[in-house]
Amino acid sequence: MPMTSVNPATGEEIFRAAGHRPQQVEAILADAANAAPAWRDLGVEARCKLLEQAAKQLDSKRDELAELMSLEMGKLIGEAKAEIEKCAKACRYYAEHAPGFLADEQIGTDASRSLVTYQPLGTILAVMPWNFPFWQAIRCAAPAMAAGNTVLLKHASNVPQCAVAIERVFEEAGFPDGVFRTLLVGSDAVDALVADDRVHAVSLTGSDAAGRAIGKAAGAHLKKSVLELGGSDAFIVLADADLEEAVAHGVKSRFQNAGQSCIAAKRFILEDTIADEFLERFAAVAAELVPGDPRAADTTLAPMARADLRDELHAQVTDAIEKGAKVVTGCHPLDGPGAFYAASVLRGIAPGMRAWEEELFGPVALAITVSDADAAIEVANSSPLGLGGTVFTRDKERGESLARRLACGSAFVNGMVKSDPRLPFGGVKQSGYGRELSRHGLMEFVNAKTLWIA
């Protein structure tokens, strides 16, 4: 299958390559499998030294890689640079902490010595999305490789150049052949990869549809899986919130990366006494975002990554408007080339609308008004998704107690949800299962093996 990248800001095709043919896929699988025993036996300290080298590579190639991301999927250049820096930080985090995370744990039992030792599973298949093309791949690969696994990356089909560039980062950092390989294949190749005996586990970051397909394949072949799927995160603003702060965090969370973030604030759940004021301020800031070339420093609204994704978003918005939702601002594609969509706010979202049930993966904020904090939690938890959630209130204690009641993987008080290598990341309900980042992420792809010595 040919791989193409289209500049989302112009609609022009900028790259085309033949995908890997079956014989090439076979050779790459064999490489990863052959590399696994030596990589495991190299020891964690030596593996971590190489991760430090990968961090240096990322730092030194930051501008070049950011430019590529910006061209290939439309990310604002400033956000793209920050993404590469965050990848380097994650590599350094695991380089520093993996030896401690993987240390044997002595446990007192009836044995003369009993302990838990952490061993790699083998080869991990990473099926990744285009929205944070470097971050998603590296946050999965860095801990998996630190633990002694080899990694096969099947990246999203619209970012083949990023996929190849990530492989090159590890190659130039001095990783042994086969430890990290990119497969240029479409989603139709994934079932066979999961089934292959040389693949021991699979990690997907992507949509719920992909999650169902990969979860099914992993189950059929009894392989470990981690699924990081979509979110429709609640952003609750209570009557006592600092509205200026809430608006600033809300706008950033909803519109960065053209709204294409799993943990973007998607449903703004507002206590009725401040709803109008919040929305007025929020819409005013959103309306000031400037669409344009994502590589230009003064552009503040990126294009969406693909025209078909923009059209699907507009179909969700149109459905809501037809069923009674009200446009506060935007809610239409922007004229001209490229996959731009106006920074948008829709209020009056209700059950029965697609926007109530589904994730809106683009620059559209949904507003729902509620009478009090209990009603806010009820609306927040009514979603089938459970990735992140935010509560804004000046009463931090109350904020914490409400955050504890949110049915999600990450709940933030007075701050937008963001990922951090030190904290676990993942969802509940249809947002998937398993965790990435922190010690929890590293532990997903190890065998916690008991040793018992009489």
Q: How far is CA 218 from CA 119, 129, 275, in A?
A: 21, 18, 45
Distance of closest approach, residue 220 Cβ to ligand NAP, in angstroms: 13
Nearest to ligand NAP of 218, 241 (CB atom): 218
Number of H helices, E strands in the chain: 15, 20
Nearest to ligand NAP of 276, 311 (CB atom): 311
Nearest to ligand NAP of 79, 242 (CB atom): 79
Both tokens of 367, joined, read 């507003």
| Element holding 208 (H helix, E strand) | helix 208-220
Nearest to ligand NAP of 160, 291 (CB atom): 160
Distance of closest approach, residue 52 Cβ to ligand NAP, in angstroms: 25
Q: Where are the beta strands (DSSP E) in 51-122?
A: 105-106, 113-120
Nearest to ligand NAP of 186, 336 (CB atom): 186
Distance of closest approach, residue 213 Cβ to ligand NAP, in angstroms: 3
Distance of closest approach, residue 190 Cβ to ligand NAP, in angstroms: 4
Beta bridge partners of 203: 126, 226
Distance of closest approach, residue 140 Cβ to ligand NAP, in angstroms: 10
Query: Active-site residue numbers?
Result: 228, 262
90, 97 Cβ separation under 8 angstroms = no
218, 202 Cβ separation under 8 angstroms = yes
Question: In this structure, which amino acid lies at residue 454?
Answer: A
Nearest to ligand NAP of 154, 249 (CB atom): 154
Residue nearest to ligand NAP (CB): 206
Distance CA 285, CA 22 (A): 50
Distance CA 86, CA 155 (A): 19
- DSSP assignments along 302-360, one per residue: PPPS-HHHHHHHHHHHHHHHHTT-EEEE--SBPSSSS--B--EEEE---TTSHHHHS--
Residues of this chain that bind ligand NAP (CB under 6 A): 127-131, 136, 154-157, 186-187, 190, 205-207, 210, 213-214, 228-231, 262, 359, 361, 387, 427
Distance CA 454, CA 45 (A): 30
In the three-class reduction of DSSP (H, G, I as helix; E, B as strand; rest coil), residue 430 is classed as coil
Distance of closest approach, residue 255 Cβ to ligand NAP, in angstroms: 16
Q: Which residue has the tokens 């590589």?
A: 295
Distance of closest approach, residue 434 Cβ to ligand NAP, in angstroms: 10
Nearest to ligand NAP of 36, 213 (CB atom): 213
Distance CA 268, CA 259 (A): 14
Q: At what angle do helices 44-60 and 160-172 cross, to 10 degrees?
A: 120
Distance of closest approach, residue 230 Cβ to ligand NAP, in angstroms: 3
Nearest to ligand NAP of 255, 361 (CB atom): 361
Taking the CA atoms of 103, 104, 107 and 113 in sequence, report the sign of the dihedral they define.
Answer: negative
Beta bridge partners of 202: 125, 225
| Element holding 287 (H helix, E strand) | helix 272-287
Q: Which residue has the tokens 């532990």?
A: 443
